[in-house]
Structure 1
């Protein structure tokens, strides 16, 4: 079979039916990247853009796409001033070394930020291309906090930590826009995980092209239309060297969903694209609802609390079931006197998560409730009045 674009011999086969040569495949991939940015019309020419890179396949391809786009000498040049940052786990310094090595190939600088800086957010801009030192006590507190949660909750919480650190660093280097390297596969897994962990109302910001939870900083996902299959071909053609590390921890809900989606995709090639298109439809409706109801923000994930939309919700059903099963006599009496469930008020039926709706969203309140008496960062505890 020949390339569907130029009729030369094919070297790439996508979705078991689309044939491309190397040149046409690279043109098509670059077009997807540029089109995803261009059609949303968010970027301002020559503005600062922070780009988060983990060293994995997605961020490695994003790094190469951005470098190619900003070094063009024609009208298709991407007119941004990129800043690169890597979020480092103290126990995985090899990832930071791999990222520094990647960036050295392009002669660009990268800043390394410890995840433990989340404990106070008072870090300074570090020296480029080196791994900064951080306080051992801060690192210990951070890992104690994560280790105090079940694996699923810790994995979910870590995503919120990374987002908050990216937003905070973007403010320090005066960037209004942040690029991250999520792909269609990653976002499909995140969508199903969100629904399973009670974050369905946050789909648009967690899975859509643009995360607008922060008033000043927008997080964009410019390679969200590029599949893992295309990434693998891109890495092979350009001979890139990604740092291969598992995106999710084993034995967590996230790892189970990732395996489920991956296995389903092998037999049904439209699985991931269908999930992502569904996410766009769900997200658009949620965004419309948020625009009509500007509400308070969750202290941890910064999502809207949706306090005005809780009548006869899944949360209230969970609260009622939990209290009835625990044999709460006072609550049983209340139900006997008020058989109409729609009459239940939040003050009469207090949540099983005491901080929910006032300070935390459902997902974050569950994570906080599952911690084993380990302290959250002081600036969060101060707001929560713990």
Structure 2
């Protein structure tokens, strides 16, 4: 743990958090399959859904990011993810729970504790959440709703039957010169090579992309492997 903490960076912590999020979702899907459930209901409010939507764009999954904001998420085929609270703000849910005298549980997030103990590092998710909260309370109260409505208008054109084995987003099978995901990934690799040339050289970049993973997940696993 001390060895990992000594290598802690904002980029690494962001990858760690995204890994935990997708890994937890995959565990829930596996449990649903074992229980013969056809639906998995998630309690994600509009604030949370909007943050995840922007994160997918930032991480290079922009052409399929609308999946994260949809009421019905059918990327797993045999199990449908349902988000019944996607149109409600976190504040609205908190007020409802207060007036109805409902008990709630606050999950313990170890990554949040790491951020609090290391003020020099942060995660993309936390920065995006703070950015939206600042806009929401700084004179633009309809920011979250506007992003959700805009994402709902995006039509997903999926011409690929291949999905990522980890995040289960569709993997584009177009030519690399025209694929926006691959172009974005090349840009991310180039930026990382400039900021950290010792970790990203010609030998390491060559094997970044795994055939069973999308480009974003490949980069995430690559970065996590550098600290082990």
Does residue 298 (structure 1) correspond to residue 169 (structure 2)? The answer is no
Where does structure 1 lack aligned partners over 5 or more consecutive residues? 1-139, 327-349, 376-386
> Residues 62-117 of structure 1: CA distance to partner in whole angstroms, max 9, x if unpaired?
xxxxxxxxxxxxxxxxxxxxxxxxxxxxxxxxxxxxxxxxxxxxxxxxxxxxxxxx
Higher RCO (CA 8 Å, separation ≥ 6 residues): 2
Per the alignment, in what secondary structure is the counterpart of residue 219 of structure 1?
strand
Q: Look up the match of 1:372.
A: 225
Q: Look up the match of 1:229.
A: 91
Tell me, in whole angstroms, the C-alpha distance in 1 between the residues paired with 2:35 and 2:45.
26
Q: Look up the match of 1:268.
A: 140
Map of 1:71-150 to 2, 5 A cutoff?
150=12
Shift of 1:295: 2.2
Shift of 1:317: 6.2
Per the alignment, in what secondary structure is the counterpart of residue 81 of structure 2?
strand
TM-score normalised to the size of structure 2? 0.76
Per the alignment, in what secondary structure is the counterpart of residue 308 of structure 1?
coil
Map of 1:150-165 to 2, 5 A cutoff?
150-165=12-27
Shift of 1:202: 3.0
Map of 1:1-386 to 2, 5 A cutoff?
150-245=12-107, 249=112, 250=115, 251-266=122-137, 267-282=139-154, 285-286=155-156, 289-290=157-158, 293-308=159-174, 310-314=176-180, 315-316=182-183, 319=186, 322=190, 352=205, 354-356=207-209, 358-372=211-225
* Change in CA separation of 1:352 and 1:307 when aligned onto 2, cut-off 3 Å: farther
Shift of 1:308: 1.9
> Residues 207-241 of structure 1: CA distance to partner in whole angstroms, max 9, x if unpaired?
21122121211111011111122112101111122
Residues 353 and 366, structure 1, Cα contact 8 Å, conserved in 2? no
Structure 1 or 2, whichever has the larger Rg, is: 1
Per the alignment, in what secondary structure is the counterpart of residue 294 of structure 1?
coil
Aligned residues: 202
TM-score normalised to the size of structure 1? 0.47
Shift of 1:373: 5.3
Tell me, in whole angstroms, the C-alpha distance in 2 between the residues paired with 1:218 and 1:353.
36
Tell me, in whole angstroms, the C-alpha distance in 2 between the residues paired with 1:299 and 1:351.
22
Greater strand share, structure number? 1
> Residues 125-167 of structure 1: CA distance to partner in whole angstroms, max 9, x if unpaired?
xxxxxxxxxxxxxxx9xx99xx898110111111111111111
Per the alignment, in what secondary structure is the counterpart of residue 239 of structure 1?
coil
Tell me, in whole angstroms, the C-alpha distance in 2 between the residues paired with 1:280 and 1:236.
30
Per the alignment, in what secondary structure is the counterpart of residue 244 of structure 1?
coil
Greater helix share, structure number? 2
Tell me, in whole angstroms, the C-alpha distance in 2 between the residues paired with 1:351 and 1:305.
22
Shift of 1:198: 1.3
Where does structure 2 lack aligned partners over 5 or more consecutive residues? 116-121, 195-202
Tell me, in whole angstroms, the C-alpha distance in 2 between the residues paired with 1:161 and 1:302.
11
Tell me, in whole angstroms, the C-alpha distance in 2 between the residues paired with 1:185 and 1:317.
26
Residues 41 and 82, structure 2, Cα contact 8 Å, conserved in 1? yes
